[in-house]
Amino acid sequence: MLVKGKQIDYALYLVTDRHYLGGRDLVAEVLKAVAGGVTVVQLREKNANSRDFYQLALALKEALVPRGVPLIINDRLDIALAADADGLHVGQEDLPVTVVRPLLGEDKIIGLSVSNEEELREGENTGADYLGVGPVFATPTKDDAAAPLGIEKLRLLRQKTRLPLVAIGGIDLDNLKAVRDTGMDGVAVVSALMTSPDIQAAARRMINLWQNR
Amino acid sequence: MLVKGKQIDYALYLVTDRHYLGGRDLVAEVLKAVAGGVTVVQLREKNANSRDFYQLALALKEALVPRGVPLIINDRLDIALAADADGLHVGQEDLPVTVVRPLLGEDKIIGLSVSNEEELREGENTGADYLGVGPVFATPTKDDAAAPLGIEKLRLLRQKTRLPLVAIGGIDLDNLKAVRDTGMDGVAVVSALMTSPDIQAAARRMINLWQNR
């Protein structure tokens, strides 16, 4: 199975947000996105109770395992443990990586959100497997996000670490190539996929752009 | 240290709610409540981010360990694990006890909220160490709570299990003796203590009533 972050294809990293789905089923939409080319899925639930979050994680895991696509849980170590997910993504306001690692184990992926060089270095020193870097552009998804980094700052941060970097924040078809050309290992996308009426086609267009086809 | 729920004094079980504190410091208020007679503390944080929840749990644990008062975390297994708390309390919308137990270990306390005989039996069958039974009376604390059980139903539920039972929901100085006389092992209190301008005196009055002094 999946061992350590370095062996993961981070190219098109879907972060879920049920808020954008209206009545559409999350698992069904995620599977369409995977069929389109999504390579990693992060389940992000900011308002669900723990039971619902857990059951959603179980359902997604069951759907993703046969497709070889890793499932990362946002913020909640308990859900990652309970559902035996492939990993956990934490932000600066979540549990510290140093606290999470011994509880989650060496074989699981831990990602950390960073928005500047200091946080990037902290992520490297505490043993994160990859870093989410952003926001690259202004985004409607997180209203508490820091100021956008922009492409040049992304390029600078790329030179500071050999850890896999996944750019996040306002990435769409128009700016995806510019982001890729900074040397990122992947792009994380919320709204550009979750709001699409045809998520499979949207994912296909993004992965094709990423692979320069 | 504290081993298994049966050895715990559940008499006066404080459930925190920072919402009631205004600007007052949570750890300081909890310590006053413990000085007044609180025997168990449950940290309940429904809106904090994971980092703040964790740091609050660490601070409370550090304050409570020398006083021999167990710290139980509400809902969040990850926080209980990260802070090495004495136990976890889950509700019907949180992670199932059967999922929590192997992750938390046999030496930790697991409490389950129940509001009827079916849930009580489930708690017994899944290995909870104690059950929170309620709401006994109408309460302003949880707006999603079930209909109040009342004293007679509490007495009936008491006869259905040998597990420690802690009654919760609208318990105050006026009804505490009636609740105690149903055979409960303790009373859990939120607002009657958290809203008090003198939480130590309020806890003292409650524990004295409980002990019939």
pLDDT one-digit tens code per residue, A51-62 = 999 999 999 999
Q: Is residue A24 a contact partner of residue A149, using CB atoms and an 8 Å limit?
A: no
> What mean pLDDT is predicted for residues A119-130?
96
Residue written as token pair 């008062």:
B69
How many other C-beta atoms are found inside a 10 Å radius of the C-beta of residue B151?
16
Measured between alpha carbons, how far is residue B135 from residues A28, B4, B58, B160 in Å?
A: 38, 25, 29, 17
Burial pattern A150-177, b for ≥16 Cβ within 10 A else e, equals ebebbbebbeebebbbbbbbbbbeebbe
B177 catalytic residue (yes or no): no
pLDDT digits (tens, 9 = 90+) for B154-173: 999 999 999 999 999 999 99
Which residues of chain B neighbour A94 with C-beta distances below 8 Å?
49-51
Please tell me whether A142 is known to bind a ligand: yes
**E-strand spans in B53-152?**
71-74, 87-90, 109-114, 130-133
Instruction: Compare CB distances from B95 to A54, A93, A95 and report the shortest one's residue.
Output: A54
As beta bridge partners, residue A114 has A133
Residues making up chain B, counted from first to last = 213
User: Tokens at residue B31, please?
Assistant: 């310590």
Q: What is the ipTM of this complex?
A: 0.94
CA distance A66 to A175: 32
What residue spans of A10-73 are helical by DSSP H? 26-36, 50-64
- pLDDT at residue B2, as a whole number: 47
The pLDDT confidence band at residue B145, using thresholds 50, 70 and 90, is low
pLDDT digits (tens, 9 = 90+) for A171-181: 999 999 999 99
- pLDDT at residue B3, as a whole number: 45
The verdict on A103 touching B (C-beta cutoff 8 Å) is yes
Domains annotated for chain B, with CATH where assigned, are 5-210 (3.20.20.70)
- pLDDT at residue B108, as a whole number: 97
How many other C-beta atoms are found inside a 10 Å radius of the C-beta of residue A52?
12
- Residue A127 sits at φ, ψ, to 5 deg, of 90, 30
Q: Is A51 exposed, middle or buried (0-12, 13-18, 19+ CB in 10 A)?
A: middle
Among all residues of A, which ones are annotated catalytic?
Answer: 44, 113, 142
Tell whether the model's pLDDT for residue B180 goes beyond 90.
yes
For A183, left (φ over 0), alpha (ψ -120 to 50), or beta? Answer: left
Q: Collapsing DSSP states into helix, strand and coil, what is residue A188?
A: strand
Please tell me whether A165 is known to bind a ligand: no
Q: What is the DSSP letter of A90?
A: E
Say how far residue A39 (Cα) sits from the centre of its chain.
Answer: 10
The verdict on B48 touching A (C-beta cutoff 8 Å) is no
Residue written as token pair 């997604």:
A60
Test mutation, B52, B53, B74, B78, chain A, max A CBs within 10 A? B78
CB contact under 8 A, A94 and B51: yes
| CA-closest candidate to residue B115, choices B93, B146, B156 | B146
- Shortest CA distance from A52: residue in chain B: B93
Lowest mean pLDDT among A7-21, A134-148, B128-142: A134-148
As beta bridge partners, residue B43 has B73
CB contact under 8 A, A51 and B92: yes
pLDDT digits (tens, 9 = 90+) for B72-103: 999 999 999 999 999 999 999 999 999 999 99
CB contact under 8 A, A94 and B49: yes
- pLDDT at residue A139, as a whole number: 81
As beta bridge partners, residue A168 has A188
- Amino acid symbol at B48: A
Lowest mean pLDDT among A141-150, A159-168, A193-202: A141-150
pLDDT digits (tens, 9 = 90+) for B45-78: 999 999 999 999 999 999 999 999 999 999 999 9
The verdict on B31 touching A (C-beta cutoff 8 Å) is no
Lowest mean pLDDT among A37-41, A95-99, A145-149, B11-15: A145-149
CA distance A8 to A39: 8
Tell whether the model's pLDDT for residue B123 goes beyond 80.
yes
- pLDDT at residue A1, as a whole number: 43
Q: Is residue A79 a contact partner of residue A85, using CB atoms and an 8 Å limit?
A: yes
Q: Is residue B46 a contact partner of residue B211, using CB atoms and an 8 Å limit?
A: no
- pLDDT at residue B7, as a whole number: 83
